[in-house]
Amino acid sequence: MKKLLPIALLLSIFATWDLPAQAFEINGYVALEGRLFMQDSLYIGQEDNNASIAMAPEFYHESPSGSSLTFVPFYRADSADSERTHFDIRELNALLVHDTFELRLGIGKVFWGVTEFVHLIDIINQTDLVEHIDGEEKLGQPMAHLSVPADWGVLDFFVLPYFRERTFPGRDGRLRTPLAVDTDNAVYEHSSEENHVDFAFRYSQIFNFGDIGLYYFKGTSREPLLIPSVKSNGRTVLLPYYQLIDQVGMDLQLVTGNWLWKLEALYQDNDTKNYFASTGGFEYTFVGIGDTMIDLGLIAEFAYDDRDDEATTPFDEDIFGGLRLGLNDPAGSELLMGLSYDLDNKGNIFQLEASRRITDTIKIFLESWVFFNTEPGDYYLYSIRDDDFIRLQLFYYF
Amino acid sequence: MELTNKRQKSQYLRLITFLLFILSIVFLQTSPHVLAETPEDKGLAIAIEADKRDLGYRSLTADMLMILRNKHGQESKREMRFRSLEIMDDGDKSLIIFDSPKDVKGTAFLNYTHKVGDDDQWLYLPALKRVKRISSRNKSGSFMGSEFAYEDIAGQEIEKYTYNWLRDEECEGMDCFVMERYPVDKKNSGYSRQVVWLDRAEYRTWKVEYFDRKDAHLKTLTFSGYEKYNDRFWRAAQLDMVNHQTGKSTELQFSNYVFNVGLSDADFNKNSLKRVK
């Protein structure tokens, strides 16, 4: 019921908003997905393949002053994993635009970061992990977000009144740890649990030579520790444990000619183990290779986390090499390939993403992830070592 | 000795002429190309005059429709909205918002043109809510798969080229200047030179021929449907870019031009990128 309160509040704003049919738009997509896992499953109950359908319509209304209302519900129905069948409100917010500030109230999404392979410092929104292990899919976050732009930079203030728990694959789903995560019984450090009010503050500025951002976050960690626990039915599960943290983070991107230099870093203070983590690298683009319209980008990045093996991400001391091809054809064909290499534990991930438009409204995405050279030292990567997959998606945009 | 003297003399004369020419522009007393002596001076004078006639637009908005055609005549369309802000002591700021194809709807391209040095560019990806700083050195790259390169779309600041007046001749039934312009950033431009046709009366561009880095004729751009806005600003309704080497072409239509719309810096920053729809 508490969950529904902010939603009800927002809906009431929608209802009472002065609605002279100025600019009302409905856009969005419906996507069909098939995932094919190349090896037999490691854990009992897991399916070899799955099919699913997802949709995310966007309802948008803008007033003449530039203020707007946005509503983006999301739903996925999955054939194999009941945890992956899920509904979320990605956005339900009112944006008030004033000459000297912007205020966004409601459920929204904010992204911070510059690198391609690891999204380290991004913290406002929780990861919707059942959607994808790349960490780019996010759950809607209730927020009051005040943004004040000035000549000397932009100040962003966030009050985050409700916490979203990370999604995890269920027992039937692939790409999970040997023990499934029991998302119904999350444990919190703070007694207010998901009602703990979190805060964040960010300063960012752009320069001719690059962009910089610095932030401070105080609240519930988006990344849970996973604690083995025996349930009353005798089954052992992993319980997500959400700590309170203080975190400072920064992102920096420099532009020098065809080179883009990127750096993200954070320091986190918590009751278990304070740590430092960083990721960065470069991207270099060759434009119009061999007298064609094709652009070729080379990406090299590193990731470092001083928790080493205790890191909750698979990347503690890794390097990444990537290649991005943009065909610049009318179909907008693109290809991204990447290879990660773990310097301590070994363990490589190969990933490939390709996409192109078939018609003006239909786009096809092909993706493949392959895990190899995995060793038990990297718990997460070792857990999913037999989950190499090919994912085919067909998006219809309306 | 005599030779050096002559050279010094001619340099001296050139300097005087140049100063006179600058003065003439400053005081707007004479048509700028009258006093210009060398083809380079005359070319520059034409570019300065063309630029001057467009000063004071402050900000504008327009709708864009891009029709891409391959050599078999197959078409694909892109719809965009264009916003531009005049910056007094530097290049203009511009924002292009994509409406179609639908998979890129809400994607936005922000450009701070600089008179000297590289432009600043950002791309907003709405699915990730991510603003990406991109390298402006990819100026020769294709804009949205079209025959327009980024450098063709970006602000044509005077300082981005050096100039050379070639001749006057008739074009589109009018008296026209024909001049060459050479990109200052030779290393990253896709062109060795461009030949430009402007009419003498209003300094409107009617045709641009683009020559690739091997100096082969690559593309031709023609302008049509000029209309005058706010009693001052001429804008073409249609731009046609033909690639002679591939047989592909792109038609770019502009409509709903509105000048002096009251946009400000706040409409051209990373925040505004995130809220465009």
A290: contact with B, CB 8 A cutoff = no
CA distance B216 to chain A (A): 13
The helix-helix angle for B39-52 and B2-27 (nearest 10°) equals 10
Residue B30 pLDDT: 47
Nearest to B78 by CA among A331, A228, A185: A331
From A27, A258, A397, residue closest to B137, measured CB to CB:
A258
CATH number of B59-275: 2.50.20.10
For chain A, list residues with pLDDT below 50.
1
**Domain definitions of chain B by residue range:** 2-30, 59-275
* Closest residue of chain B to A25, computed from CA coordinates: B277
CATH number, domain with residue A379:
2.40.160.10
Give the whole-angstrom CA distance, residue A240 versus residue A393.
30
The CB density around residue A367, as the number of other CB atoms within 10 Å, is: 19
Query: How far, CA to CA in Å, does A217 sit from each of A6, A120, A170, A234, B249?
Result: 22, 14, 30, 38, 51
Would the CA dihedral through A330, B243, B139, B114 be positive or negative? negative
Q: What range defines the domain where residue A149 resides? A: 4-397
Query: How far, CA to CA in Å, does B35 sit from each of B6, B39, B83, B144?
Result: 21, 11, 37, 43
- What is the ipTM metric for this complex? 0.91
Residue A44 pLDDT: 87
Give the whole-angstrom CA distance, residue A354 versus residue A363.
11
From A60, A66, A328, residue closest to B145, measured CB to CB:
A328
Residue B1 pLDDT: 44
How many domains does chain A contain in total?
Answer: 1
CA distance B119 to chain A (A): 8
Q: 3-state DSSP call for residue A26?
A: strand
A95 contacts B275? CB cut-off 8 A: yes
Residue A292 pLDDT: 85
Mutate to test the interface with B, among A206, A260, A327 (most CBs of B within 10 A): A206
Give the whole-angstrom CA distance, residue B9 versus residue B5.
6
Residue B276 pLDDT: 84
Would the CA dihedral through A54, B107, A205, B263 be positive or negative? negative
Confidence of residue B12 (pLDDT cuts 50, 70, 90): low
- Residues in chain A with CB shorter than 8 Å from the CB of B145 are 293, 328-332
- Residues in chain A with CB shorter than 8 Å from the CB of B105 are 27, 397
- Residues in chain B with CB shorter than 8 Å from the CB of A293 are 141-142, 145
Question: Of A63-77, B22-36, B205-219, B253-267, which gets the smallest average pLDDT?
Answer: B22-36
Give the whole-angstrom CA distance, residue B261 versus residue B63.
14
